[in-house]
Structure 1
């Protein structure tokens, strides 16, 4: 009985993603095409693999049994195929990274162009997402996050500047109208521009530190944006004089240099550790990811 390998991958992807729409996003195909692939396998096997409703797609008992075996088997197939890369002069294939918007903006521009130039046969796909995800279930090879507290089977590799700071800023016009805060608690009387994570939690409290003293405040204000995707809107609002913003220093630095924003409470800006590239340690590392890991290790970060 012959079943297409890509159709089998579709089965595993749908199960991991919990549905056709998310599975299609992971595989880069249409939801209808993914549904057709699952249907073809079911017809070949003569058994239903998923129970489908308008709200959910759940594996049947037969589906769970098949998926459990396929997950391991497809991993072995991919590892076997990747061995061929060892006989190439340069690695080839695809590399999919799951990263926060801040990393895509502040870290990867210094790496990806030169990496692509060094490895022209590798195709890189960047997926921006703020929440911490299981990179395998998300169909990615690795991720970047600003926290090294990862699962035991994950390997974390420093990537990007090792020390960064959160900066607070507002436009000169706003500060001329409302005054310049002298202590973090003064911000409680200001219009603050806030972010909200995809989990629904606000990106607060704002935290400040000076000479061992840590101050946390719960700011409020007229604008809340989705952390990551809506951050540029908050920055534009701050430049237009709508309020005070609290964000990565490197994100705001060009606006300090241009005079569009003025630093606020700079002696209180809190440092934090830089991001990490993380990937599963329990699997054979594909050649494109191995090349990227080696490239990251060789990069010199001076800031």
Structure 2
């Protein structure tokens, strides 16, 4: 008969083997969660859902869940993602504001982008359109709008949150036309567009994806694109540079980051799988149809982009004197 001690050792040993097998099981072997710091229907959400679908297909229909955690310009989501277990099963679709602008614009940031996250892959970039409501503003060009603003009590520009690219884009635009910006912060781009439709603000910087349907329907007028070249989604809209404002070239990007200390082999697999997903003919077409430019970088290149943009946006933030608690 097996003694109690031998039985206990056998059970303990079996448990150790079970744990070892679980730890060496191929990644991923259960659903992966992608945290998004903005509401459903916004640019980051659209990118995350398109990416989740392609990753799930590539992983044998393994579930990939998009978890929206909106608020505070994406800081709530970033804080949660930074505290997640570094096992590859909780990721974040980060954007420029959360990872490159926040360090300069917040005095007390609840996470450190450089220390709390590992870059995995930049997925897409997105240019902005300067939009106005034709029922409120009679302007067809940037110079028309600049002239119109001279007759107003202030340049009230909607933003989709303090510390976001649209926020500091408003400051840069105001400086370029010799005005002082009065940013009006909304919870999301959709809310900011609502303020524009309601006549509460004069203009807004919105992503190409959200701008195109409203512009094509004649509801809003796009005066300029912030990109280095015209957007294929709205090819008739000239860039700021074309209209004599070479300093107004900026965009936003969205990319996957993982909590610090995520194993390098998992980061490498994620990066390779994301690049494959977004560069596939179907994945690329869907992203472009939604108004985004696919990049699909490797982890090292994404890290360099985040670092370089932290410097670039840091200078823009410093020029405004903006600081949030």
2: CA distance between counterparts of 1:216 and 1:95?
48
The structure with the greater share of residues assigned to helix is 2
The structure with the greater share of residues assigned to strand is 1
1: CA distance between counterparts of 2:43 and 2:114?
21
Partner SS for 2:213 = helix
Aligned to 1:34: none
Q: 1:78 to 1:165 in 2, by over 3 A?
A: farther
1: CA distance between counterparts of 2:19 and 2:251?
38
1: CA distance between counterparts of 2:157 and 2:19?
49
Aligned to 1:60: none
2: CA distance between counterparts of 1:95 and 1:82?
16
Q: 1:160 to 1:235 in 2, by over 3 A?
A: same
- Structure 2: give runs of 5+ residues left out of the alignment: 1-17, 101-112, 226-238, 241-247, 294-325
Once the two structures are TM-superposed, the CA of residue 171 in structure 1 deviates from its matched residue by: 1.9
Within-5 A mapping of 1:169-180: 169-176=131-138
- Structure 1: give runs of 5+ residues left out of the alignment: 1-76
Once the two structures are TM-superposed, the CA of residue 196 in structure 1 deviates from its matched residue by: 3.6
Aligned to 2:274: 296
Aligned to 1:238: 196
Higher relative contact order at CA 8 Å, sep ≥6: structure 1 or structure 2? 2
Aligned to 2:36: 99
Once the two structures are TM-superposed, the CA of residue 261 in structure 1 deviates from its matched residue by: 0.9
1: CA distance between counterparts of 2:158 and 2:198?
12
Partner SS for 2:182 = coil
1: CA distance between counterparts of 2:178 and 2:256?
29
2: CA distance between counterparts of 1:144 and 1:218?
33
- Contact 1:169–1:246 under 8 Å retained in 2: yes
In the alignment, which of 152, 158, 178 is matched to residue 193 of structure 1?
Answer: 158
Aligned residues: 211
Aligned to 2:256: 277
- Contact 1:166–1:270 under 8 Å retained in 2: no
1: CA distance between counterparts of 2:197 and 2:46?
20
CA displacement 1:64-123 (0-9 Å, x = unmatched): xxxxxxxxxxxxx9886342236xxxx431212222325533422432223333432334
Partner SS for 2:181 = coil
Q: TM-score, normalised by structure 2?
A: 0.51
Within-5 A mapping of 1:207-222: 207-208=171-172, 218-220=180-182
2: CA distance between counterparts of 1:276 and 1:262?
29
- Contact 2:160–2:191 under 8 Å retained in 1: no
Q: 1:180 to 1:103 in 2, by over 3 A?
A: closer
Aligned to 1:157: 120
Once the two structures are TM-superposed, the CA of residue 263 in structure 1 deviates from its matched residue by: 0.8
In the alignment, which of 219, 225, 230 is matched to residue 186 of structure 2?
Answer: 225
Q: 1:81 to 1:254 in 2, by over 3 A?
A: same
RMSD: 4.0
Within-5 A mapping of 1:34-49: none
